[in-house]
Amino acid sequence: MTEAVADTKALALRFSTKTALTHAVLILGALIVLLPFYTMLSLSLKAPAEIMQQTGGFIGTQAPFRDDYCIKLGKEVADCMVNPIAYNYSTAFEKAPLLRYLLNGVVVTVSIFFIQVVVALPCAYALAKLRFWGREFVFTLVLFCLLIPVHAIALPLYIMLAKVGLTNTYAALIIPWTISVFGIFLMRQFFMTVPDDLIDAARMDGMSEYAIIWRVMLPTAIPALMAFGIFSVVAHWNDYFWPRIVITGNRDLFTPPLGLREFKGDADGDNFGPMMATACIIVTPLIVCFLLAQRRFIEGITLSGMK
């Protein structure tokens, strides 16, 4: 009996050390993962000199410093003394019109996602649940398109858009992404797991195939859709390459990452404080979205029936 009790303790101990070990490993990993974010946040709080010299710890001394831009415009030195945090964040919003960029980002990512869904969902449904001649071929095509790197086709695409006069418009930011083969692929995998009976029941209830997609498949696929949504939104919210190519005229069409370039001086020195402030602001909406979506999001990526 006493032996059993000792055993219990050993068991409990083993359990707790195991969890503790798990936590230790995960925390170590989290530290490495978080290091750049720590730096990013820290840089967004400090004065330029502190940034370049890497002094001042996490938030810097917060001593006011002289804003060159202001001086150069001919203002008095006393008027140009600014607090680092206030300077970094207010510059991010004023100089780069970040609010405008964020709004553009929302418009663009939401439109892209919306169109992707409208296009991909029916296609995924057909590939998963309808039997028709050429289905395998279409699916193979989807798999092939998955391999095509967008950077490689950027120029032909740009020229095509230019020919129809769409550069420097929202359309240019949106159109190339209206087709998401990844989305088709992911949604198809999910639709494969929706029972056929459900679709047949809908047919018996008098739904057209079109109604089935929006009234049956879409609501049941919400988790998968969220997963796809996160991938799509993250990718296009953060996209730097494509907007830079097509938006050469109007700054009002900038998406948030392009806001970062306002602070690039390249060989003549970047303005890191506001740049990092911008970066922090840009990533925040995504984190919030992820936190809201994560539960259902992970359930959504069903990969069973993969083939």
Partner 1 sequence: EDKIVVEFGYPYSHLFDVTYEKILPKFYEQHPNIEIKMRATYESYEDGTNTILREAVAGTLPDVTMQGLNRQAILVEKGIAKSLEPFIAKEADFAKDGYHKAMLDLGTFGDDVYGLPFSISLPVGYYNMEVMAKAGYDETNLPTTWSEVVEACGKLREAGVDNPMFWGWNITGNWFLQALMWSQDKPTVEGNDFQLDTPEGLTALNTMKDIFSGCEMQNLEWKAALASFSAGDLGMMYWSTSAVGAVERAMGDFTLVTSEYPGLDEKGPMGLPAGGNSALMVSTSEDPAELEAAWAWLKFITSGEGAADVARTTGYMPPNQAANEIILKDFYADNPAKATAVRQLPLLREWQAYPGDNGLAATQVIYDGLEGIVTGEYSDMTELQEELTEEVQDLLK
Partner 2 sequence: MIKSHAHIWFIGPALVLMTVILLIPILIAMGLSVTDYSLGNMGAEFVGFENYEKIFTRSAYEKMFGATFRYVFVVVPLTVGLGLGSALLIHSLGRFGDIYKTIYFLPVMAALIAMAIVWEFAFHPTIGVINSTLERGCGTWLELWTWYAKGCERSFPLWLQDRDYAIWTVSFIGVWQGFGFNMVLYLAGLTSIPRSLYDAAEMDGAKRGWDRFRLVTWPLLGPTTVFVVTISFIRSFQVFDMVEAFYPQGGGPSKSVFVMMFAIYEKGIQQNLMGIGAAITVVFLAFVMVLTLIQRWLVERRTHYA
Partner 3 sequence: MSQISLSGIHKSFGSTEVLKGVSLDIEAGEFVTLVGPSGCGKSTLLRILAGLDSADTGDVRIQAQSVTQTRAADRNLAMVFQSYALYPHLSVAENMMTPLKMRELGWAGRLPIVGPLVARRACRDIHARVEAVAETLKITPLLARKPGQLSGGQRQRVALGRAMVRDPVAFLMDEPLSNLDAALRVHMRAELSELHRRLNATFVYVTHDQAEALTMSDRMAVMMQGEILQVGPPDEIYHNPASLAVARFIGSPAINVLPGEKLADGRVVLLGQRLFNVQSGQPRALFIGLRPEHLHLAAEGRFEGMISHRENLGSDLFLHLTLKEMDNPVVIRAHPDQARNVARGHNVRFDLDPAKVLFFEADGQRVTLDGARQLEVAQ
Ligand X SMILES: O=P(O)(O)OC[C@@H](O)CO
C-beta closer to partner 1: residue 184 or 246:
246
- Report the site for partner 1 in 72-91 (rule: CB under 8 A): 72-74
SS (H, E, C) 15-72: HHHHHHHHHHHHHHHHHHHHHHHHHHHHHCCCCHHHHHHCCCCCCCCCCCEECHHHHH
The correct pick among 184, 202, 225, 253 for binding partner 2 (CB under 8 A) is 184
The correct pick among 33, 73, 268, 306 for binding ligand X (CB under 6 A) is 268
**Minimal CA–CA distance to 187: which of 216, 212, 218?**
218
> Three-class SS of residue 74?
coil
Structural tokens at position 230: 């996160």
Question: Does 265 participate in binding ligand X (rule CB under 6 A)?
Answer: no
Question: Which H/E stretch holds residue 81?
Answer: strand 81-82
Which range of residues in 12-20, 155-163, 282-290, 291-299 is near partner 1 by CB under 8 A? 155-163
Q: How far is the CB of 203 from partner 3 (least distance, A)?
A: 4
What are the DSSP calls for 199-264, one per residue?
Answer: HHHHHHTT--HHHHIIIIIHHHTHHHHHHHHHHHHHHHHS--HHHHHH-SS-GGG--HHHHHHTT-
Pairing assessment for the beta strands 65-66 and 81-82 based on DSSP bridges: antiparallel
C-beta closer to ligand X: residue 195 or 265:
265
Question: Does 207 participate in binding partner 2 (rule CB under 8 A)?
Answer: no
Which range of residues in 4-12, 57-65, 66-74, 151-159 is near partner 2 by CB under 8 A? 151-159
C-beta closer to partner 3: residue 168 or 220:
220
Which residue type sits at 106?
Answer: V
Paired with 81 in beta bridges are: 66
Question: Does 198 participate in binding partner 3 (rule CB under 8 A)?
Answer: yes
Per-residue x/- marks for partner 2, 240-279, CB under 8 A?
Answer: xx--------------xx--x---------x-x--xx-xx
Neighbours of 79 (CB within 10 A): 10
Structural tokens at position 160: 């095509």
Residue 73 contact, options partner 3, partner 2, ligand X, none, Cβ 5-8 Å cut-off depending on partner type? none
- Contacting residues toward partner 3, per CB under 8 A: 1, 4, 7-8, 11, 195, 197-198, 200-208, 211, 216, 219-220, 222
- Contacting residues toward partner 1, per CB under 8 A: 48-49, 51-55, 68-69, 72-74, 95, 155, 158-159, 161-163, 167-168, 244-245, 247-251, 254, 258, 261-271
